[in-house]
């Protein structure tokens, strides 16, 4: 079997803490019961909101993507992905108690391993880390990294402090050491309002403001000097909307030119650093209605290497089977589907992938 497409953003759904009980120790199992800790589902994706699951993907209980077979049937069998990367968005990153965060992040990664990765060789996953405590986050990377089916470290777009801040750097050191990109996915731990003007009225404002979060993280990671320290670190912006990037870089690179004495460790233009170190998944693709304009905005990225295929299953980003946005040039399809993901995820290369795919 050849590598036909690598779906870089698929969401396995954890419907509640009862799912994780077998992966928690006695103390936390008891706590779940005695304290009535039912669910850590995040407000970033309200279970019944349209974005959270396309209607035709939902099962009788309203949930979608609750087991490996459901996911592979859609993304692999129907949409032809030879491999899919699971990004679990269960809200263990939101809880204030860092002991809970550690225990539930571990349980989540173990659940992913046993109930997903072990059940289908086409699946890969991201390591969910408890950002509440950097030491615990690094421990979790170290614990999961020996399993090469974990191909990325997953964090949310909106954090307690900007990601580039130096206290996060041990996470980047561990990720770089193990050849794991840092995947930044839409979502928030809700330590800060989702806009810089406070809490919005509507959920649609919350969701659309994710794009602002990505802009801030790109600025933070670069200005703080992360790529001077960890030049091999790759960052994947997942479910970001994509088309905000060129205009953002015009502005960012201009201010860097004007005020770069403030950050002397940034010794080349942010636009160049982004082209070298950042990648973006293609769903959602916030596109103009005219396909010619889509082609133009793709040109504005000034690189054929940046876009990675994703269906964002089961999120409702497109109807039918239109997973590649209209207007993306045909000449880029193979790059987006196969070559760019392989160049981004070191662990998708080599024997492990080819064996599992055969």
Partner 1 sequence: MNIEVRQPARAQKTRYGIVDCDIHPKLLIEDYRRHLSNQWWSHLQTYGLRPRHGYTKAYPMPKITPQAARRDAWPPTGGMPGSDLGFLREQLLDLYDMDYGILNPLQPTAQGDQNPEFSAAMATAANEQQVDKWTAREKRLKASVVVPYEHPEASVAEIRRRAGSKDFAQVFMLSRTSEAHGRRRYWPIYQAAVEAGLPVGIHVFGYAGWPLTNSGWPSFYIEEMTEHATGQQAVVASMIFEGLFEQYRDLKVVLIESGFGWLPALGWRLDKHWERMRDEVPHVKRPPSEYIREHFWVSTQPMEEAEDPEHVLDAMRWIGFDRILFASDYPHWDFDDPVLALPPSLTEEQRRAIYSGNAKKLYGLA
Between residue 237 and residue 256, which ones bind partner 1 under the rule CB under 8 A? 241, 243-244, 246-248, 250-256
What string marks each residue from 190 to 209 as x (binds partner 1 by CB under 8 A) or -? -xxxxxxxx-xxxxxx-xxx
HSE on the CB side for 40, CA within 13 Å?
24
Residue 39 interacts with partner 1 (CB under 8 A): yes or no: no
Could you tell me if 307 and 280 are in contact, meaning their C-beta atoms sit under 8 angstroms apart?
yes
Count of chain residues binding partner 1 (CB under 8 A):
71
To partner 1, the closest distance from the beta carbon of 295 in angstroms equals 11
CB of 85 to partner 1, least distance (A): 23
DSSP state at residue 30: H
CB of residue 134 to partner 1, shortest distance in Å: 15
What angle do the packed helices 169-177 and 134-144 form, to 10 degrees?
10
* Distance in Å, CB of 184 to partner 1, minimum: 10
What are 4's two structure tokens?
A: 């036909």
Q: In whole angstroms, give the CA distance from residue 177 to residue 22.
A: 31
CB of 49 to partner 1, least distance (A): 7
Q: Interface mask (CB under 8 A) for partner 1, residues 142-181, using x and -?
A: ---------------xxxxxxxxx----------------
| Contact flag: residue 352 with partner 1 (CB under 8 A) | no
Between 28 and 316, name the residue whose CB sits nearer to partner 1: 316
Q: Where are the alpha helices (DSSP H) in the chain?
A: 17-20, 26-34, 68-71, 98-115, 134-144, 169-177, 203-208, 210-223, 226-229, 245-259, 270-277, 291-300, 333-334, 340-344, 351-357
Contact window for partner 1 (CB under 8 A) among 82-90, 132-140, 184-192, 228-236: 184-192
Is there binding between residue 43 and partner 1 (CB under 8 A)?
A: no
Q: Which is nearer to partner 1, 314 or 341 (CB)?
A: 314
Place of tokens 């024997």: 351
Residues within window 254-313 making contact with partner 1, judged by CB under 8 A? 254-256, 258-263, 271, 284, 286-288, 293, 296-297, 299-300, 302
Rule CB under 8 A: say whether 354 interacts with partner 1.
no
27 versus 265: smaller Cβ distance to partner 1: 265
**Tokens of residue 338, six digits:** 């196969």
* Residue 252 and residue 218 in contact, taking contact as beta carbons nearer than 8 Å: yes
The verdict on whether omega for the bond into residue 284 sits within 30 degrees of 0, i.e. cis, is yes
Q: How far is the CB of 294 from partner 1 (least distance, A)?
A: 10
Minimum CB separation from partner 1 for residue 199, in Å? 8
Q: Which is nearer to partner 1, 107 or 171 (CB)?
A: 171
Q: How far is the CB of 99 from partner 1 (least distance, A)?
A: 23
CA dihedral 267, 268, 272, 278 (to 10 degrees): 20
The encoded tokens of residue 348 equal: 């998708």
Name the nearest CA neighbour of 275 among 347, 229, 227: 227
Q: Which CB, 37 or 49, lies closer to partner 1?
A: 49
- Near partner 1 by CB under 8 A: residue from 15, 133, 212, 352: 212
C-alpha distances in Å from residue 250, one per residue of 109, 244, 279, 299: 38, 11, 17, 14
Q: By CB under 8 A, what part of segment 68-107 binds partner 1? A: none
Smallest separation (angstroms) from partner 1 to the CB of 224: 7
Side-by-side strand order, sheet with 6-10 = 6-10, 83-86, 123-128, 150-158, 182-188, 235-238, 278-281, 307-308
């Amino acid at each position: 079997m050849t590598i036909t497409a690598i779906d870089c953003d698929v969401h396995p759904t954890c419907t509640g803490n009862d799912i994780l009980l077998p992966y928690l120790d006695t103390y936390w199992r008891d706590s779940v019961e005695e304290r009535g800790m039912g669910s850590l589902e995040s407000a970033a994706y309200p279970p019944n909101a349209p974005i959270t699951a396309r209607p035709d993907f939902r099962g009788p209980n309203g949930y979608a993507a609750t087991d490996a077979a459901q996911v592979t049937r859609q993304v692999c069998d129907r949409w032809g992905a030879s491999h899919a990367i699971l990004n679990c968005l269960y809200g263990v990153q939101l809880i204030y108690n860092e002991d809970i965060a550690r225990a539930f992040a571990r349980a989540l990664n173990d659940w992913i391993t046993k109930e997903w990765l072990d059940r289908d060789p086409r699946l890969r996953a991201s390591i969910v880390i408890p950002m509440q405590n950097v030491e615990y986050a690094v421990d979790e990377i170290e614990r999961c990294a020996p399993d090469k089916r974990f191909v990325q470290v997953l964090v949310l777009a909106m954090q307690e402090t900007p990601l580039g801040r130096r206290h996060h750097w041990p996470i980047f050191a561990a990720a770089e050491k193990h050849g794991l990109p840092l995947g930044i996915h839409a979502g928030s731990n809700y330590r800060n309002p989702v806009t810089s003007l406070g809490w919005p009225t509507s959920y649609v404002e919350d969701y659309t403001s994710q794009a602002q979060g990505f802009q801030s993280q790109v600025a933070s990671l670069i200005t703080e000097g992360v790529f001077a320290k960890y030049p091999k670190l790759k960052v994947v912006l997942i479910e970001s909307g994509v088309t905000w990037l060129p205009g953002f870089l015009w502005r960012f690179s201009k201010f860097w030119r004007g005020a770069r004495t403030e950050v002397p460790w940034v010794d080349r233009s942010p636009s160049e650093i982004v082209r070298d170190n950042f990648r973006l998944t293609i769903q959602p693709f916030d596109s103009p209605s005219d396909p010619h304009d889509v082609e133009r905005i793709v040109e504005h990225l000034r690189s054929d290497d940046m876009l990675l295929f994703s269906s964002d299953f089961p999120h409702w980003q497109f109807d039918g089977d239109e997973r590649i946005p209209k207007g993306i040039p045909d000449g880029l399809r193979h790059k987006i589907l196969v070559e760019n993901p392989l160049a981004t995820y070191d662990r998708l290369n080599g024997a492990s992938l080819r064996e599992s795919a055969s």
